[in-house]
Amino acid sequence: MTDSTNTAGPLPTPTLHAENGVLTLEGLPLTQIAEQFGTPTYVYSKAALTSAFEAWRQALSGRKALVCYAVKANSNLGILSVFAQLGAGFDIVSGGELARVLAAGGRADRVVFPIALRVNPDVDPKTHPYISTGLKGNKFGVAFADAQSLYRRAAALPNLHIAGIACHIGSQLLDPAPVAEAAQKLADLVDRLAIDGIVLEHIDLGGGLGIRYRDETPPSVAQYLAPLLKVFEGRKEELCFEPGRSLVGNAGLLLTRIEYLKPGETKNFAIVDAAMNDLARPALYDAWHEVVEVVGREVPTQAYDIVGPICESGDFLARGRELAVAEGDLLAILSAGAYGMTMSSNYNTRPRAAEVIVDGEQAHLVRARESVSALFADEKPLG
């Protein structure tokens, strides 16, 4: 995919390309979206969401398997409705997420919130420590050594039907080997439980497949699943998967406008109208997001730290980026579809961004921008 703007390589967001020097998502220039809906705005591609889901469905073709979108990655009703229409299941972590799924047209019988034991397989996922969940030092799951005895206890309790087992070792996984290792440990445990007379109906292997943010080379869905599926070849249990980031991460971007360029002695700052409350990942994880100019300019590039107007030194979206820009220009912060809007806040009493889904040449507002007055509508001064 070619692009005339200042990027180091192919754009990670599918369906994003440059036309006459202007970045376009599917068939719609980002300049038009900014003019219609303002900034900052999260913008998602329906075509990218669809193709990402189809990659999972095709990789599992012929298997007894259910792909359940992990709602915590992005819980907008517009996003959920796209996946519901594609026949996805949903992985939820709260009653609030269940309400969202149902409001978006999702089926309750395809929602994963079952009574099952999540087993911690003590497998190193080789990812960021904050998103590692499958080591014995993590808070998630029951200890692998205790799992069989816990299942025996559960099976002996009245009015309980033990249906499945689950594990999830972490997020942004780029190597299939740890997942396959966890799968083998889980399969062996399921076989031992069967000897005890505890026959499980489904095995939930979580999600975790990573995406390209910068220079990562994640495997395709088929490559990621191949060694894992080999472990379960010929088995009768239904397999459940819970991808989140790999379905929405590179389907979305954060559109923002440069308010002010501030030169400094040691570095230059591009102060934009988005901030750490809109996209927390850089401040939280020191995460990298590709940043590109929406309209190409024939001016020399300079290195900028891209920062917001929040009163925190941690309010940055990117550091040391070479950009050819002027005040008032638009920037696209890429790979922002996962854990962007869902982790946003109203810090500094800032209204959260609007959200838009692009479908071909049509833009659909799927969340209106918040107003300041709405932020304190439920509050009351004392006295």
288 burial level (CB within 10 Å; 0-12, 13-18, 19+)? middle
| Pair 187, 90 in one domain | yes
User: What would the DSSP string read from start to end of 212-268?
Assistant: -SSS--PPPHHHHHHHHHHHTTT--SEEEE---HHHHGGGEEEEEEEEEEE--SS-E
The whole-angstrom separation of Cα 153 and Cα 261 is 64
Q: Structural domain tally of the chain?
A: 2
Q: Tens digit of pLDDT for each residue in 158-196?
A: 988 888 998 888 888 999 998 899 899 999 999 999 999
CATH (domain of 333)? 2.40.37.10
User: What would the DSSP string read from start to end of 91-139?
Assistant: E-SSHHHHHHHHHTT--GGGEE--S-EEEE------S-GGGB--STTSS
| Pair 83, 209 in one domain | yes
Is 52 inside any structural domain?
Answer: yes
Examine the fold and report which residue of 227, 246, 265 is the final residue of a domain before the chain moves on. Answer: 246
CATH (domain of 211)? 3.20.20.10
Is 7 inside any structural domain?
Answer: no
| Pair 230, 262 in one domain | no
End-to-end CA distance of the chain: 61
From the CB of residue 20, how many other CB atoms can be counted at a distance below 10 Å?
Answer: 9
Is 10 inside any structural domain?
Answer: no
Is 31 inside any structural domain?
Answer: yes
Examine the fold and report which residue of 207, 228, 246 is the final residue of a domain before the chain moves on. Answer: 246
Residue 364 is part of which domain span? 16-45+249-375
| Pair 152, 267 in one domain | no
Residues with catalytic function: 311
| Pair 271, 195 in one domain | no
| Pair 191, 269 in one domain | no
pLDDT per residue of the chain (383 residues) written in tens, 0 to 9: 233 344 444 567 789 999 999 999 999 999 999 999 999 999 999 999 999 999 999 999 999 999 999 999 999 999 999 999 999 999 999 999 999 999 999 999 999 878 667 687 766 655 545 444 444 455 566 888 888 998 999 899 998 888 899 888 888 899 999 889 989 999 999 999 999 999 999 999 988 899 999 989 999 999 999 999 999 999 999 999 999 999 999 999 999 999 999 998 899 999 999 999 999 999 999 999 999 999 999 899 999 999 999 999 999 999 999 999 999 999 999 999 999 999 999 999 999 999 999 999 999 999 999 999 999 999 999 98
| Pair 77, 192 in one domain | yes
Is 325 inside any structural domain?
Answer: yes
Q: What pTM was computed for the model?
A: 0.91
| Pair 217, 260 in one domain | no
Judge whether 298 and 176 are in contact, CB under 8 Å: no
Is 381 inside any structural domain?
Answer: no
Is 8 inside any structural domain?
Answer: no
| Pair 233, 103 in one domain | yes
**β-strands 202-204, 22-25 pairing:** unpaired
Residue 33 DSSP symbol: H
Residue type, 125: P
| Pair 22, 163 in one domain | no
Residue type, 106: G
Is 319 inside any structural domain?
Answer: yes
The whole-angstrom separation of Cα 278 and Cα 285 is 14
| Pair 101, 238 in one domain | yes
Long-range pairs for 181-186 at CB < 8 Å and ≥24 separation? 181/121, 181/123, 182/121, 182/123, 182/134, 183/228, 183/231, 183/232, 184/231, 185/121, 185/123, 185/144, 186/119, 186/121
Examine the fold and report which residue of 246, 265, 284 is the final residue of a domain before the chain moves on. Answer: 246
Q: Tens digit of pLDDT for each residue in 250-308?
A: 999 999 999 999 998 899 999 999 999 999 999 999 999 999 999 999 899 999 999 99
| Pair 72, 186 in one domain | yes
The whole-angstrom separation of Cα 46 and Cα 321 is 29
Q: How far is CA 96 from the centre of its chain?
A: 18
